[in-house]
Amino acid sequence: MSAVSPTTQPSVPASAEPPPIERRYLLLTFIPYYLDDAGDVWLDQLWHRDFVQHLRYLPKLTLAAPRLRAEDGPDDLVRVELPAGAELELWPLPHVQTTLSAAAQLPLTAARLWRAIGEHDILHSGVAGWPIPIGWVGNAVAMLRKRPFVLMVESAPWRPSTGDEGVKDHVRAAITEALARFFVRRADVVFFTQPSYARTLAREGQPGAHVTPATWIDEADILTREVAEARWAAKGDRVRLLFAGRLVAAKGVDLLLGAIRDLHDRGVRVDVDIIGDGPRRARCEAVAEQVPGLRVLDPVPYGAPFFELLEGYHGVLVPSLGDEQPRIVFDAYARAVPVIASDTDGLRPHVEEGETGWLFARGDRAALADVLERASEGASTLRRMGLRALAEAPGFTHRGMHLSRWRILHGRFGRR
């Protein structure tokens, strides 16, 4: 028996939308919202892109999250505009940045969530977060107050992935894994972004467990076949590859740099651009000074600037060590760009070997070097795989993802 009830997210017309869910829905997150002097709500660009989709089908939505001043926020804040008929309430929570501050604020956080959850019909929460998953508190309160709760399991950042974790990290991981499994198995609905999370956290055959891959592409982001072919014709045969993401060990940055160095030592040049910020950026820049073909570029905003950049490459590199399901796979497919990825549980289901990209053994530096060398000599193969990947993109739109979740929530909560 399957451990989950997997769902897909085909691109569908708006007429297929079920009615909105007229229940008081409390969305709990550690991501802050920002308030200006006029009382307007602002969110950072990426969170805003996703949050506003919820307002399509949750017209009685309350956001429970840390509140900060808009003037203290990042430069990419976007104001929340409510669609007709939608209501948005705010439930401010303490803003904590360390384990100590989270512990100190725990009584206040618990008290506020006790009241908030008691005043709502449904809690939407999670099992991850830093410094302490706020869902631990919210989920426990929902169970005590006998409120149904929905969990979103997008990633499992607590799981060791780099091999550099210490005893403290492993202890924390064991506790977090146990609590994640505990709450998942008691939730009314759980959305997993990949099947392995469901297999390891949910009960076998658990009702309400669904796999809905995470994606942020819109229909407008997907190239037509004709435009894609023209873009490929303009690229030429000199292969350029792109790594775009947080420059941290778990994303496979050190692995990638090592593979590029190995090829350089063998006299093989590969052209790779690295785009992103993070603690490994200085190391990337140092290697780029020594290895021709490697460049480190500044990030560009997600959206049109990023997609325009993306379509200029022959392939996207995703050498992740962790098991999350990176959204960049579908970003690449939307621009007819194949993916070269590690064979993690989060990537393997979405990269068809030899058809939409190539897979290599997770953490295997030699295997990554081999596939980089193969890519550098295979512009025509990359083109074929990129055009094949383009055909997959319409089935994985951001709107389609939310429509899948909307249907599931409506089936469970749409009728009183």
The pLDDT score that the predictor gives to residue 5 is 40
The pLDDT score that the predictor gives to residue 313 is 99
Cβ-based neighbours of 331, under 8 Å, separated by 6 or more: 216, 217, 221, 306, 307, 310, 316
The pLDDT score that the predictor gives to residue 415 is 67
Q: List the one residue out of 222, 225, 226 whose CA is nearest residue 395.
A: 222
Measured distance CA(105)–CA(102) in Å, rounded: 5
Find the angle CA(122)-CA(127)-CA(128) to the nearest 5 degrees.
130
Cβ-based neighbours of 297, under 8 Å, separated by 6 or more: 273, 274, 275
Dihedral over alpha carbons 307, 351, 150, 114 (to 10 degrees)? -60
DSSP assignment of 335-379: TT--EEEE--TTTGGG--BTTTEEEE-TT-HHHHHHHHHHHHT-H
The pLDDT score that the predictor gives to residue 6 is 41
Question: What is the distance of C-alpha 370 from the center of its chain?
Answer: 28
Measured distance CA(40)–CA(26) in Å, rounded: 19
User: Across-strand partners of 77?
Assistant: 44
DSSP state of 30: S
Which residue is associated with the tokens 């319409």? 394
Q: List the one residue out of 337, 331, 364, 106 whose CA is nearest residue 221.
A: 331
Full pLDDT tens readout for the chain, 416 residues: 233 344 444 444 445 899 999 999 999 999 999 999 999 999 999 999 999 999 999 999 999 999 999 999 999 999 999 999 999 999 999 998 888 888 899 999 999 999 999 999 999 999 998 788 999 999 999 999 999 999 999 998 888 888 888 999 899 989 999 999 999 999 999 999 999 999 999 999 999 999 999 999 999 999 999 999 999 999 999 999 999 999 999 999 999 999 999 999 999 999 999 999 999 999 999 999 999 999 999 999 999 999 999 999 999 999 999 988 889 999 999 999 999 999 999 999 999 999 999 999 999 999 999 999 999 999 999 999 999 999 999 999 999 999 999 999 999 998 65
User: What domains are defined for the chain?
Assistant: 14-215+398-413 (3.40.50.2000), 220-394 (3.40.50.2000)
DSSP assignment of 321-335: SS----THHHHHHHT
Secondary element (H or E) of residue 53: helix 45-54
The pLDDT score that the predictor gives to residue 1 is 26
Here the tokens at position 63 are 């956001």
Omega before 157 within 30 of 0, i.e. cis: no
3-state secondary structure of 74: coil
DSSP state of 238: S
pTM score of the predicted model: 0.91
Dihedral over alpha carbons 49, 193, 280, 66 (to 10 degrees)? 50
